[in-house]
Amino acid sequence: MPHHAVENYLAKLVNLGESVAICEQVGDPATTKGPVERKVVRIVTPGTISDEALLQERQDNLLAAIWQDSKGFGLCDARY
C-alpha cells in the first residue's frame, strides 16, 4: 500500500481488531539483485494504540502496566 494512504488503512484495520506491521525498504534496489531488504519499523495492535489519530475521541483510552520482582510489585495506570 502507498505510504501516503497508511493512516486511513491503519485506522480501519485496527478498528476491526487486526494487528498491523509497517515495513520499510532498507536495501538499495540499484545495488541489490533480487528482492530488496525490508524491516519492520512499527507494530500497531488494538491494545497498543498511542497514536492520537487512531484513538476514539469520545471514549476513555486506558493504559496500565504491572511490574513485579522479589521485593514486591508496582502498578501504574493512565487515561488519555
Spell out the domain ranges in the chain: 1-54
The pLDDT of residue 27 is 86
Q: Strand pairing of 20-25 and 62-69? A: unpaired
Band (80; pLDDT cuts 50, 70, 90) = low
For 21-57, write each residue's pLDDT tens digit. 999 988 888 888 889 999 999 898 887 777 777 777 7
Give residue 72's region: left, alpha or beta (phi > 0; psi -120 to 50).
left
Which CATH number does the domain 1-54 belong to among 3.40.1170.10, 1.10.357.10, 3.30.420.40, 3.40.50.300? 3.40.1170.10
- The alpha carbon of 45 is separated from its chain's Cα centroid by a whole number of angstroms, namely 6
CB atoms within 10 A of CB 10: 20
What is the rounded average pLDDT for all residues in the chain? 85
The pLDDT of residue 40 is 95
